[in-house]
Amino acid sequence: MIQVTIDDKTLEVEAGTSIVDAAKSAGIFIPTLCHTDFLEPEGACRVCSVEIEQNGRFQVVTACNYPIRGELTVKTASERALATRRTVLEMMLARWPQVKVVRDLAKHLGITEPRFAHPQKNEDPHACILCGLCVRTCREGVWQNVLGFEGRGASRRVVMPYDGVAPECVGCGACAFVCPTGAIQMMDDPNHPADAARIRRAGMVVTKEMVLLDDDQCKMRRAGTAHLVEIMNDYDLLPVNNYRFGSSDDAHKISSPHFVKRFTQNIQDGCALGCDMACAKGSDDFEITTGPDKGKRVCVDGPEYETAGGTTNMGIFDPEWCIEMNYYCDHYGVDTISYCTLMAFVMECYEAGVLNKERTGGLELPFGAADAAMEVLHQMARGEGFGLVAGQGVRRMKKMFVADYGADPDFLNDIGMESKGLEYSEYVTKESLAQQGGYGIALKGAQHDEAWLIFMDMVNKQIPSFADKAEALHYFPMWRTWFGLMGLCKLPWNDVEPTDNAETDEPAKVPKHVAGYCDFVAGMTGQEVTPADLIRMSERVYNFQRIFNLKMGFGQREHDRIPYRSAGPVTATEYESRAERYDKQLAEEVDFDPAGKSTDEKCAALRTWREDRYEKLLDAVYERRGWTANGIPTLTTAKALGIDKMDGLVDLLTANGAAQ
């Protein structure tokens, strides 16, 4: 702490505190113009000039950006400081005599008429006074960087590049919001929304939160989703060795700082133009060490959490390898999640003896076999060797390995992490029944983007009963489906949250943001909507899709099955790695005394119990959704949603026992 005397008050402040902040905490007012809390101080306008004394030296400094690093005396209104401040305002008043903020500040300093004429005198009350707040907000605040200064000295002015309207400007309105003179006006939106201002107001809420809160919350702009690696590891949710385990002592080797260090593109990118969250990252100047681009230095788009989590799922803890794999998946058009999960399956098969060097074309593929795994990726792209097998995905590999190598089908079904043919994404769901449902019931297969309920369920214990879980598995999939309907990204909904979100009735839903989306729809269409209306939109589409799946031969209870690896420990090793947890569950919840029992016996007992609970969950969810016990929307449900007019729908539902 450093002692500082400001006018007649002495106080202690932390080293690095600005004079403005120190003065504010002492209740002393220093006028500012180009300064605001959420931007780095610039010291451009010089309105906050004060006089300081340090070691007998007197000096005029700007209070906004002068960091207090040693004992200091500040005179906020010394003659010299006031002379500077007054002349600054006098010059501004000479140039912009009608601008209110200038007039007010000048008046505050006792100036009504400037003593000199300004050759660029501008009588416009909304003239730009070059404070730069808009430029800095656009750059530092919303990371858009479409505003800048052009010209030097007297010809300085604020423009978009090449003096035009930059196509990169998304009209977020933050610049107009911070402009102290009203010099920035928003143009009409070419999409002709019913109420553009209402949309902008709704958008501004998220913009402000990103600017003010993100660094303390999810760091989406600094690290992107990669920040989840270490968090998932802490909560035993990071998949390791084909989802056997949820954490690893090696996880620190691939945690987000390793990636952040590589991220050179902490800027808006092409993911979604104008998104304030800007979570997509790029690693520039990355040298490729394998495959056709070996030796090239490339820009890699990513990695995101899933790609890093997929890497640990293969038992690989090398961030450089992860980035290279990310690059080749992008390059070849392969989904990183599917690649990682199918490779994890291949590796477990290799370790279990289902595969061997003969069957993989000479590749040794135990967990952690980074080089060989990369080679499989190249082979997949070239359509040769073992790549031809692996590239078909987990579901087909299971069938092939049973047919060709006589593998145990039950074992492969337990560990082959796919549902509806889609490989699992990278979270361990064993301890969250709700999330098992989130993966299993999802219409498109085992993806977490319909519902991510692990924390609510497993950590927070907010949804203990089947009915609670079913309600969550109704609301969240419907809510997330709505983003798909709108073509919106889900992340701004809950990867940054209002500071008072916790005090709302249902924090998990982020009610303020949901209200913002209602404003968005109303502003766009001119029709008022409620949160329930939004859910209704999704229910119509979601049920329609489920019925469509049914028509195509899917969409029944059997298709919502999940591999047991996602619900509990398949092998003794897995059980033993978390034995305390499982034993406790057996004793307290299953009514099975684990004492003296073999691991296999305990595994079996736990499995029976957990599989039964999953079936009960399906019953509860189907009921909540108005579906039959076989997971089919009933005719009543279809009618209620107004989707019953489809040709053949009644016959289809009747034929499948859902005519009620």
Partner 1 sequence: MPKVTLENLEKLAADAEAARAGMRADLCVCVGTGCVSAGSVALVDELKRAVKDQGLDGELKVTPTGCNGFCAHGPIAVIQPEGAFYERLKAKDAPTLIQKHFVDSTPLEDHMYRDPETRELVPLEKDIRFFAKQQTIALRNRGIVDPEDIADAIGRGAYRGLRKVLAEDMAPEALIQMLIRSGLRGRGGGGFPTGVKWQSCCAAAVERSETPYVVCNGDEGDPGAFMDRSIVEADPHAVIEGMIIGAVAVGASEGFVYLRKEYPLALERLYKALDQARAWGLLGDSVMGTDFAFDIIVHQGAGAFVCGESTALMASMEGRAGEPRAKYVHSVEYGYRNRPTVLNNVETWAVVGQILDRGPEWFASIGTGDVSESPWGGSSGTKVFSLVGNVNNTGLVEVPMGITLREIVYDIGGGVPDGRAFKAVQTGGPSGGCLPEGSLDLPVDFDTLQKAGSMMGSGGLIVMDDRTCMVDVARYFIEFLLDESCGKCTPCREGLTCLNEILTRITEGKGRDEDLGLLEDLGAVLKDGALCGLGQTAGNPVLSTLHHFRSEYEAHIRDGKCPAGTCKALIKYTIDPETCTGCTLCARVCPTECISGEKKQLHTIAQDECIQCGTCLDACKDDAVLVE
Partner 2 sequence: MALTVNGEPHPFREGLTISALMQEKRFSYPLKTIFVNGARVDRKAQDTTLLSDGDKVDVIHLMSGG
74 — phi, psi (to 5°)? -115, 130
159 or 231: CB nearest partner 2: 231
Size of the site for partner 2 (CB under 8 A): 34
Beta bridge partners of 54: 57
Q: Does 56 bind partner 1 (CB under 8 A)?
A: no
* Residue 154 interface partner, choices partner 1, partner 2, none, CB cut-off 5-8 Å depending on type: partner 1
Q: Does 170 bind partner 2 (CB under 8 A)?
A: no
How far apart CA 250 and CA 254 sit, in angstroms, is 8
Tokens of 415: 């560990």
Q: Does 502 bind partner 2 (CB under 8 A)?
A: yes
Q: Does 136 bind partner 2 (CB under 8 A)?
A: no
Q: Does 258 bind partner 2 (CB under 8 A)?
A: no
To the nearest whole angstrom, how small is the minimum distance from the Cβ of residue 426 to partner 2? Answer: 9
Label the pairing between strands 282-287 and 157-159. Answer: unpaired
Dihedral sign, Cα of residue 280, residue 281, residue 282, residue 288: negative
Going through 91-140 in order, the beta strands assigned E by DSSP cover none
To the nearest whole angstrom, how small is the minimum distance from the Cβ of residue 333 to partner 2? Answer: 22
Beta bridge partners of 60: 51
Query: Of the listed pieces 256-264, 384-392, 408-416, 502-510, which binds partner 2 according to CB under 8 A?
Result: 502-510
64 in Cβ contact with 85 (< 8 Å): no
Q: Does 120 bind partner 1 (CB under 8 A)?
A: yes
How far apart CA 274 and CA 143 sit, in angstroms, is 8
423 in Cβ contact with 338 (< 8 Å): yes
Q: Does 79 bind partner 2 (CB under 8 A)?
A: no
502 or 552: CB nearest partner 2: 502
Residue from the set 43, 361, 484, 511 that interacts with partner 1 by CB under 8 A: 43
**DSSP secondary structure of 46-72:** -TTEEEEEETTEEEEEETTT-B--S-E
Q: Does 35 bind partner 1 (CB under 8 A)?
A: no
Q: Does 647 bind partner 2 (CB under 8 A)?
A: no
* Residue 95 interface partner, choices partner 2, partner 1, none, CB cut-off 5-8 Å depending on type: partner 1
* Residue 115 interface partner, choices partner 1, partner 2, none, CB cut-off 5-8 Å depending on type: partner 1
Kindly write out the interface string for residues 225-254 of this chain, putting x where it contacts partner 2 by CB under 8 A and - elsewhere.
x--x-xx--xx-------------------
To the nearest whole angstrom, how small is the minimum distance from the Cβ of residue 227 to partner 1? Answer: 22
618 secondary structure, DSSP code = H
Tell me which residues in 122-151 interact with partner 1 (CB under 8 A).
Answer: 130, 132, 148-149, 151
Q: Does 424 bind partner 2 (CB under 8 A)?
A: no
Q: Does 155 bind partner 1 (CB under 8 A)?
A: yes
Q: Does 46 bind partner 1 (CB under 8 A)?
A: yes
7 or 230: CB nearest partner 2: 230
Q: Does 435 bind partner 1 (CB under 8 A)?
A: no
**DSSP secondary structure of 323-386:** HHHHHHHHHHT--HHHHHHHHHHHHHHHHTTSS-TTTTTS---STT-HHHHHHHHHHHHHT-TT
DSSP SS3 for 29: coil
Query: Of the listed pieces 21-29, 36-44, 498-506, 647-655, which binds partner 2 according to CB under 8 A?
Result: 498-506
339 or 452: CB nearest partner 2: 452
Residue from the set 115, 252, 297, 461 that interacts with partner 1 by CB under 8 A: 115
Beta bridge partners of 399: none
| Contacting residues for 353 by C-beta, under 8 A, at least 6 apart | none
Q: Which residue has the tokens 């969240």?
A: 476
Amino acid at 559: H
Q: Does 326 bind partner 2 (CB under 8 A)?
A: no
How far apart CA 95 and CA 109 sit, in angstroms, is 17
Residue from the set 501, 566, 585, 656 that interacts with partner 2 by CB under 8 A: 501
Angle at 599 between CA 596 and CA 604, to 5 degrees: 110
425 or 628: CB nearest partner 2: 425
Residue from the set 275, 454, 547, 567 that interacts with partner 2 by CB under 8 A: 454
Tell me which long-range contacts 164-172 makes (C-beta under 8 A, separation of at least 24): 168/144, 168/268, 168/273, 168/274, 169/144, 169/274, 170/144, 170/273, 170/274, 171/200, 171/274, 172/142, 172/144, 172/200, 172/203, 172/204, 172/207, 172/274, 172/276
Tokens of 43: 């010291």
* Residue 503 interface partner, choices partner 2, partner 1, none, CB cut-off 5-8 Å depending on type: partner 2
Residue from the set 269, 449, 611, 644 that interacts with partner 2 by CB under 8 A: 449
Q: Does 218 bind partner 2 (CB under 8 A)?
A: yes
DSSP SS3 for 472: helix
Residues that bind partner 1 (CB under 8 A): 43-47, 49, 60-62, 65-67, 80, 83-84, 87-88, 91-92, 94-95, 115-120, 130, 132, 148-149, 151-156
Residues that bind partner 2 (CB under 8 A): 216-219, 225, 228, 230-231, 234-235, 305-306, 425, 427, 448-449, 452-456, 459-462, 476, 494, 497, 501-503, 507-508, 510
